[in-house]
Amino acid sequence: MLNINDKYIDFELPDQNGKMHKLSDYLNKGNRIVLYFYPKDNTSGCTTQACGYSALVREFTKKNTIIFGISKDSVKSHKKFEENHDLKITLLSDESLNVLNAYDVYKEKSMYGRKYMGVVRTTYILSEDGTIIYANDKVKAKEDPLNILEIL
């Protein structure tokens, strides 16, 4: 996991509509950025978290904060996820795992004694200049959106 006071690692990824987003294009413009990394579209915890952020998107906008949800799912999967749950947030696809690895969220996990590689649910808040001002890799999907809003 990256640490508080680390500088952001720039990236460019496609969203659920195929539009490219370069992180540095959003910085130094008075916006803070929430990067939340999640394991898989249309799963229970990930749906709860995405719907929570989506429901609070106006509140985040009032706080000059942009939300990006990032997973290794495809653009097509993200589009279906957005449509299934009427999401109002931007979902970025990192099928290459480059960003997931750069932000140190793609790690060995274990379920029922079986080890596998996967995304550790992690949330970062970046200041206007891209400095990490919050980092958490012990995220509870249901509580995360409201907790982040309160921190801001």
Tens digits of residue pLDDT in 21-39: 999 999 989 899 999 999 9
Contact at 8 Å (CB) between 40 and 46? Answer: yes
Residue given tokens 């995304």 in the structure block: 119
Which residues have a Cβ under 8 Å from the Cβ of 50 and sit 6 or more positions away?
A: 38, 69, 81, 85, 87, 89, 91
Computed over every residue of the chain, the mean pLDDT equals: 95
In CATH terms, 12-18+30-151 corresponds, of 3.40.30.10, 2.130.10.10, 3.40.50.280, 3.40.50.10300, to: 3.40.30.10
Residue 131 bridge partners (DSSP): 7
Q: Where are the domains of the chain?
A: 12-18+30-151
Residues designated as active site: 46
**pTM listed for this prediction:** 0.94
Contact at 8 Å (CB) between 135 and 2? Answer: yes
